Amino acid sequence: MAGPTTARRGEKKSLSGPPSAAAPPGRRFRWERLPLRAPSRRSLIIILIVAVLLGAFGVWVLYASNWLRVERVSPTGTKVLTPHEVIAAADAPMNAPLASVDTDALAHQLRARLPRIKTVDVERSWPHTISLKVTERVPELLLRSGKKFVEVDAGGVRFATVGTAPKGVPLLEMAVSDSPSLHRFGIDRLRRAAVEVAQDLPAAVRKDVRKVRVRSYDAITLELAGDRTVAWGSREQGAEKAKVLTALLKAARDARHFDISVPSAPAVSGS
């Protein structure tokens, strides 16, 4: 009788024994927060000394060493101007620390000495070069000055005098000395109006323009190749006038005078 009883007791004992050593799912890994310790006073002093030394070394490298000094000036974008002219006008401080170069002052000096320069970007090109990215003004019209020519850009600015007229650039004749427009608008505004008229012309027409004559703000005339003239009128409605003129030049090839001052009612005469 003792056998079965003992077996049952063993079964109960095993059921009530210690739990399994395996951890339940989700609790196998535990993150423990380590206490953060503030750096000691000695560590702070060491860090501060290292930072000061690094800063002093950086200043020395930039301004006192021979590692980062101006040794070369490199201009790009020149067309009429030569690189030598740009370098001479820049007059950069050679052998000076590259970090000490005032790029804004250098750009201003270049534009003042070379009016042909419209814009210039002055950049430091480490370790030894100053880069000058030049954009030159482009002549839209020419003013005759004795035997030479003064170039006028898209803004009506006179920027250079040349001995030979650039090919394909029309002459500008300002006959406004007795015009009331001179007192009302000023010579600069009248000159800009002439440039704007030239810019409104399509390339196919512009290549035939020999002269732009300004008598007043609303009396601008074009002289084309083949002894043809165009009464343009004022600067207003420039795009519409250009379209009308282009169509008339194709339709009336033998005409000599075109009046498009009122583009909705153009007139053609002469043959």
- pLDDT score at 4: 53
For the ranges 45-54, 74-83, 207-216, the lowest mean pLDDT is seen at: 45-54
pLDDT digits (tens, 9 = 90+) for 184-243: 999 999 999 999 999 999 999 999 999 999 999 999 999 999 999 999 999 999 999 999
Confidence band (pLDDT; 50, 70, 90) for 270? confident
Confidence band (pLDDT; 50, 70, 90) for 1? very low
Higher pLDDT: 7 or 94? It is: 94
CATH architecture for the domain at 69-136:
Roll (3.10)
- In the chain, the N- to C-terminal Cα span, in Å, equals 145
CA dihedral (54, 57, 62, 64) in degrees, to 10, reads 160
- pLDDT score at 92: 96
What integer best gives the mean pLDDT of the chain?
A: 88
Q: Model's pTM, two decimal places?
A: 0.74
Higher pLDDT: 35 or 6? It is: 35
Count CB-CB contacts under 10 A for residue 170.
23
Tell whether the model's pLDDT for residue 12 goes beyond 80.
no
- pLDDT score at 56: 81
- pLDDT score at 28: 59
- pLDDT score at 20: 52
Confidence band (pLDDT; 50, 70, 90) for 177? confident
pLDDT digits (tens, 9 = 90+) for 118-158: 999 999 999 999 999 999 999 999 999 999 999 999 999 99
d(CA 212, CA 172): 5
- pLDDT score at 14: 47
Task: Name the CATH superfamily for 139-269.
Answer: Cell division protein FtsQ/DivIB (3.40.50.11690)
List the chain domain ranges: 69-136, 139-269
- pLDDT score at 178: 86
Burial zone of 124 (CB within 10 Å; 0-12 exposed, 13-18 middle, 19+ buried): middle
Confidence band (pLDDT; 50, 70, 90) for 45? confident
d(CA 62, CA 70): 11
Write out the H or E segment, with its range, that includes residue 90.
helix 83-90
**How confident is the model over 74-97, as a mean pLDDT?**
96
